[in-house]
Amino acid sequence: MVLDEAVLGNPVRLAAVGYALRTLPGRPAHLDDVAKLAARLLDAPMATITLVGAAQEHILGMHGVPDPFRSTRLVPMAYSVCKYAVCADHLVHCADMAAEADPELGEHPLIGEFGVRSFLTVPVRNAGDRPIGSLTVLDTRPRDWAGEQSDTLMTIAETLILPAGPDVTALDDGAFLRALLQSMDAGVIACNAAGRVVFLNRAMREVRGLPPEGPVPADFEERTAAVLRHPDNRPMPWEQTPMIRALRGEQVCSEDVHVTLPGHRSRVFDSTARTILGPDGQLLGAVAVAHDVTALRRAERFRACHLAVEQALKKSTTIAEAAPGVLRAVTGTLGWPAAELFLIDDTTGTLEAVGHCDSSGLDPDDFFGHTPVRGEGITGRTWQTGRAIWVPDLAASPDLRTAYERERLAICLRSGIRTALAVPVRDGGTLLGVLTCYAGTQEYEPDLLTVLLDGVAAQIGVFVALRRAEELGRQLARAQADFVDLVGHELRTPLTSITANATLLAEDTAGLDPDCRQMARVVARNAAALQHIADTLLDLAGLESGHLKLDVRPLDLAALVTEAVTAARRGADRPILITELPAELSVPGDAGRLRQVVDDLLSNAIRYSPPGAPVHVRLEAGATAAELRIADLGIGTPAEERPRVFDRFFRGSNVRHQGTIGSGLGLSLARAIVLQHGGTIRLDDNRPSGTVVTVRLPLPETPSGGADLR
């Protein structure tokens, strides 16, 4: 809201206001009728048509205004809200003045003295296009002014071009009201006290297919009732129409009426109706205003369709199970009789039907029991091109020429199908299938319908892709499990035999020449390496499956880490290990398994560090967990590969390129052991180079519920 004193006090504007006051007719009754019409059309208790001066505004037309202003037709500027439209020179509205933070509105005198809470105001201009007043509706209740209401008020205001010179005559009452009603985009219908229709504006005549001018047909009521429907598609008798209900005294506000003309799609109108009373209160008739909200209601149904499709997919494990619910949602939203879903078979490459929906009694063996031909027919062409195909009138389509297409066309026409739309089902750039829908009437909104079905097809595509990925994951898991079983049951026994004999041969080399002794040692070493991999795999599988149980007892983790560090220092590399360890730190755990973790982590840190570089080992007790950190200054792990370091057989690219040997199982086994202890293991980057591995193990609970920090 802007209050611009310069605009209000502009002398040219004030001169135009003064001229309009002098030249308008002395009787403002016709403008009172306009204000009354505006109030009724917008379902508001008050309306004014004003000229806004410098210190006060002059009421030219009014309806329902408070008594203090009705007699004088003058409003002090402090009580004005019309001034905001003049200052802004465009539509201004307020949903709830009392809720506004600006005291100009929040403490407005109209609130406390007259209970006004909301208003909608538009400027009124003279013939020179200068804003000199406003048309305003006010309400005693908070309300959000809808777009249709704003359009209606602006349409009325545009007809109120006030005089700008001596050659401009006053507005004629009947001509003005007729021009106003005929110019409205909303349909207007009025009846007399007997219920006989006496007026239809151009918009309403267009809805009923009548000429723009002329008398109302004698059988208008009977013919109109035949095409009216309730939202649930029940016929609407003439006595139940909003206008006739208003004639009987009912207040009808914003109710949907469906109009279905033969051969045309159904249209939806938001209708409001009121009685028309004379000056002495006698019943003169009723008027109804209808706004076409077909596109809005269809958009709302589209949203509901997407939600229904989402629910059908969530409840299903396979696309074949989900297809009926998905297709019912689509056909129900569109009001179409049939739809079917095809997916490309991974094995054969053919397009196979996975489900259909039939709400019109089509013969499934005749209509749905067919295999699409690539490049032919609606479905086949979408399969070939990967683009949506729309045929608004199958009977008039010149493109369906092949024998297969003529056969399918005959089946569709025999089944009452007139329109078909097929859209591709994709996962990214991969074509997965085709969704095809059929209508019994001609449809002429390809863009809107294609958007809906593209959205549904995208939902189906994501579902199919996820299910295929899950199946692939299950297959990989089975293959991995089969491999572990192979190692455990088929390789372990012969490996044990090979390792034992190779070790004996390597130890007893008295009768062998140097080359044979070297070969025996190589065989023994590699057999032992294979044996270690097999044992690690079996350990890993047993821990992850729960078959291998931990021997959990209280242990001193500080002593365990000290022993592991001492053992690592005796290695051939003589590493520099810097430790920060407490004297004692008790945790529940399997000593053998935890020693295995510490040994593997120390081995990795030493192996991937440059000679002479220190490795820091720190152990401390936190509030609920013991934390072991092993930090090195080695080659580290590339950031993009870090999430995979605990996967089986994964080795960083920098490790592979360096030529360091390894199986990629050490960290996987360490994680499995730590997780079995209820702990966590994390790998982070070290600065300026290297890796930090952090292991957290839960501390024992004290009787009071806290951790024992000894």
Question: Can you read off the two tokens belonging to residue 498?
Answer: 């090979």
Q: Which of 367, 389, 370 is nearest to 436 (CA)?
A: 389
Q: Which of 123, 133, 125 is nearest to 168 (CA)?
A: 125
Q: Which residue has the higher pLDDT, 171 or 195?
A: 195
- Which of the listed ranges 144-148, 340-344, 356-360 does the model predict with the highest average pLDDT? 340-344
> For the segment 37-54, what is each residue's pLDDT rounded down to a tens digit?
899 989 999 999 999 988
Q: How far apart are CA 383 and CA 457, in angstroms?
A: 13
pLDDT band, residue 444 (cuts 50/70/90): low
The reported pLDDT for the residue numbered 172 is: 45
Distance in angstroms between the alpha carbons of the first and the last residue of the chain: 68
CATH of 185-292, one of 3.40.190.10, 3.30.450.20, 3.40.640.10, 3.40.718.10: 3.30.450.20
Fold of 299-471: Beta-Lactamase (3.30.450)
- In angstroms, what CA-CA distances link 225 with 222, 233, 239, 590? 5, 13, 9, 84
Q: What is the DSSP string of 334-384?
A: HT-SEEEEEEE-TTT--EEEEEEEESS---IIIII-----TTSHHHHHHHH
Mean of per-residue pLDDT scores for the chain: 84
Q: How large is the average pLDDT for residues 408-430? A: 88
Q: Which residue has the higher pLDDT, 306 or 511?
A: 306
> For the segment 595-630, what is each residue's pLDDT rounded down to a tens digit?
999 999 998 898 888 888 999 999 999 989 999 999
The reported pLDDT for the residue numbered 9 is: 74
pLDDT reading at 405 higher than 60: yes
Which residues pair with residue 273 across a beta bridge? 252, 288
Q: Which residue has the higher pLDDT, 356 or 703?
A: 356
Neighbours of 164 (CB within 10 A): 18
pLDDT reading at 519 higher than 60: yes
pLDDT band, residue 478 (cuts 50/70/90): confident
The reported pLDDT for the residue numbered 497 is: 82
> For the segment 139-148, what is each residue's pLDDT rounded down to a tens digit?
999 998 888 8
CATH of 553-698, one of 3.10.580.10, 3.40.640.10, 3.30.565.10, 3.30.70.380: 3.30.565.10
Q: How far apart are CA 536 and CA 602, in angstroms?
A: 17
The reported pLDDT for the residue numbered 165 is: 45
Percent of residues, the chain, with pLDDT higher than 70: 88
Query: Which residues have CB under 8 Å from 558's CB, separation 6+?
Result: 581, 582, 583, 584, 585, 619
State the residue for tokens 């066309």: 409
pLDDT reading at 710 higher than 90: no
The answer to whether domain 5-170 has CATH 3.30.565.10 is: no
Q: Which residue has the higher pLDDT, 36 or 540?
A: 36
The reported pLDDT for the residue numbered 709 is: 45
Neighbours of 318 (CB within 10 A): 12
Q: Domains of the chain: which residue ranges?
A: 5-170, 185-292, 299-471, 553-698
pLDDT band, residue 168 (cuts 50/70/90): very low
The reported pLDDT for the residue numbered 642 is: 78
What stretch of H or E contains 312? helix 294-314
pLDDT reading at 485 higher than 70: no
Q: How far apart are CA 443 and CA 419, in angstroms?
A: 7
pLDDT reading at 170 higher than 80: no
Query: Which residues have CB under 8 Å from 587's CB, separation 6+?
Result: 554, 555, 557, 626, 697, 698, 699, 700
- Which of the listed ranges 321-335, 521-535, 693-707 does the model predict with the highest average pLDDT? 321-335
Question: Can you read off the two tokens belonging to residue 391?
Answer: 């045929």
What stretch of H or E contains 76? strand 74-76
pLDDT band, residue 167 (cuts 50/70/90): very low
Least-confidence region, from 51-60, 338-347, 441-450, 694-703: 441-450
The reported pLDDT for the residue numbered 26 is: 47
Same fold? 5-170, 299-471: yes
Q: How far apart are CA 598 and CA 617, in angstroms?
A: 10
